[in-house]
Structure 1
């Protein structure tokens, strides 16, 4: 199977390096590349390209990952197949990784040991799999193994994944403005989500919603999250 690739990178040096690696394997065809998400989206639109995998190389921030992935998803929503997304970055902090997971990337590679690791990972993602660098995978495993099972609370099961995400931030004490900045939404949109959450939970204020959320284990720093932060700060793999 020949795999069509498109690269978007905020860093021209990273872009050139990724191109050099990809050219080593004749199973890959680089059908386009761009510096920055804006030019990348224009190129995809103008040429009507159908890549199997889009690589986000050295994104400048977690916001860049979020926005590029969201725009890719939006552009290919009506296609039979949507390109898989893989992030290649030296930045493997928790915020960046979890932002990537939240927007549906299929892989996140950091501190690669060889070009073969990238090539092999692209093949896995193109075939529908998911890949993460060893240190990231171990941290994710430890995190999810310590996430508590949420008790059944009336209305909680009716919430969408986005509503649960906002409820958790609300329970953590964040204002609508802070939530909007954290997940890159308009403050008005967050207010609308909060109103729907109140309706589904049958509460009338933030304090009541936060209390229900905390009873379910939301809005609190779990033991797994504390471990991850400690280990990352200590440089422990």
Structure 2
């Protein structure tokens, strides 16, 4: 019998997933959780074979819960079940140890097959997710972009705006004119960005900004 915990902040979703899984004679839903912290506690208490995690939950997101779950119950296979088909979520989940990534819009049979697969130690991706992963495999693009976005998220709004101008190849003087800053202030901003991103020069910073999808901002109206 495959024992499963279902974690989602929407009661109707949990009820629907339970109904689907209960229709399989070899699968048993042993607990439900409406947030990430409770999901971790249910894993600790029940030690299930599989946990289905929503990405966005209160208190602790599904992605943030993966590492904790892997630490307290390494034999529990994690499937992320979400409506959000985003590269950052896919790369983050798989990097942290999830064996499955599925969409809530998937066919009910697919959900059962996915639970069985990860319980047996295999990986399982919804077909649309698999296509995104394959498309992102070239030169590790998906992982690089996810990592770049994570690093850029630590910058202030003003720093991200300035980094976008570095991506465009603007000099300090041109950045100063665009953002109405003294050139010395621009240099201070650039130094802070290099420090926060932990890179040596503005070229490396611009590469990270490009991979994070930062685009130059339009000139501000005076």
- TM bin, normalised by shorter chain, reads 0.5 to 0.7
* Aligned residue number for residue 136 of structure 2: 143
Residues 159-170 of structure 1 aligned to structure 2 (within 5 Å): none
Which ranges of structure 2 fall in alignment gaps of 5 or more residues? 158-193, 214-222
Is residue 7–residue 32 contact of structure 1 (8 Å, CA) maintained in 2?
yes
Matched, 1:209 2:208: no
Corresponding residue for 1:31? 30
Cα distance in 1 for partners of 2:72, 2:203 equals 35
> Residue by residue, what CA displacement relative to the aligned partner does 1:117-163 show, whole Å, maximum 9, x if unpaired?
11011111111111112222112111112438xxxxxxxxxxxx9xx
Kindly indicate whether residue 63 of structure 2 is the aligned counterpart of residue 66 of structure 1: yes
Identify the residue that residue 172 of structure 2 maps to in structure 1. Answer: none
> Which residue in 1 is equivalent to 2:191?
none
**Equivalent pair of 2:51/2:78 in contact (CA under 8 Å):** yes
Higher radius of gyration, 1 or 2:
2
User: 1:176/1:35 Cα in 2 relative to 1: closer, same or farther (>3 Å)?
Assistant: same
CA drift of 1:110 comes to: 1.2
- Contact 2:5/2:32, CA 8 A, preserved across alignment: yes
CA contact (8 A) 1:10 1:58 kept: no
- d(CA) in 1 for partners of 2:150, 2:43: 35
Give distance in 2, aligned partners of 1:42 and 1:113.
27
Q: 1:136 to 1:74 in 2, by over 3 A?
A: same
Q: Which position in structure 1 is the counterpart of 2:101?
A: 108
Q: Cα distance, 1:212 vs. partner?
A: 11
Q: Give the alignment partner of residue 79 of structure 2, picking from 86, 93, 97.
A: 86
1: CA distance, partners of 2:88 / 2:67: 17
- Residue in structure 1 matched with residue 52 of structure 2 by the alignment: 55
Q: Is residue 8–residue 53 contact of structure 2 (8 Å, CA) maintained in 1?
A: yes
Mean alpha-carbon deviation: is it higher for 66-75 or for 8-17? 66-75
The secondary structure found in structure 2 opposite 1:124 is helix
Q: Does 1:97 align with 2:90?
A: yes
TM value normalised by structure 1: 0.59
Give the CA deviation at 1:96: 2.2
How many residues matched? Answer: 173
Quick one: distance in 2 between partners of 1:212 and 1:128? 44
Distance 1:146 1:72, change over 3 A: same
Using the TM superposition, give the Cα deviation of residue 39 of structure 1 relative to its aligned residue in structure 2, in angstroms: 2.4
Note the aligned Cα RMSD (angstroms).
3.6
